[in-house]
């Protein structure tokens, strides 16, 4: 059975903004794992609708067991998304994930994870 977890249904890329942290703690989207840096989690397919103009959206991760602060400085980039990004790509899931519009573009984008249970 295919599963989809929406990270952003209609993310506007017309202004810089940082989304809320989303915990990846359900099958098949179990992020992180036994290692403290979260590098032994599961993989999923990242599905993105095209990002308009020169817009850049960062998909950021955090490995901590507890919800990170919105202004945390130890988030890391899971994927950098722009107009040239593939519509689907495999990523390693962190424990926590969020979107961040870092460069203004045009329109909106949908960002989702696809997994198989």
Q: What is the average pLDDT across 7-20?
A: 96
- Cα angle for residues 22, 113, 1 (degrees, 5° grid): 120
- Cα angle for residues 94, 62, 27 (degrees, 5° grid): 30
**What integer pLDDT is reported at residue 28 of this predicted model?**
87
pLDDT tens-digit profile of 67-107? 999 999 999 999 999 999 999 999 999 999 999 999 999 99
pLDDT tens-digit profile of 20-66? 999 998 888 888 754 555 556 688 999 999 999 999 999 999 988 89
pTM for the whole thing? 0.89
- Phi/psi region, residue 38 (left: phi>0; alpha: psi -120 to 50; beta: rest), is left
* Count of structural domains, the chain: 1
Give the CATH number for residue 87: 2.60.120
**Domain with 101 in it:** 2-116
In angstroms, the CA 54 to CA 68 distance is: 29
């Amino acid at each position: 059975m295919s599963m989809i977890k929406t990270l952003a249904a209609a993310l506007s890329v017309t202004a810089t903004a940082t989304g809320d942290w989303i915990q990846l703690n359900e099958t098949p989207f179990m992020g992180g794992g036994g290692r403290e840096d979260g590098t032994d989690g599961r993989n999923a397919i990242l599905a993105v609708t095209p990002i308009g103009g020169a817009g850049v959206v960062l998909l950021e991760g955090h490995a901590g067991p507890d919800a990170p602060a919105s202004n945390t400085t130890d988030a890391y980039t899971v994927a950098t998304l722009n107009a040239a990004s593939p519509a689907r790509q495999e990523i390693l899931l962190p424990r926590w994930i969020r979107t961040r519009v870092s460069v203004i573009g045009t329109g909106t984008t949908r960002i989702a994870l696809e997994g198989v249970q």
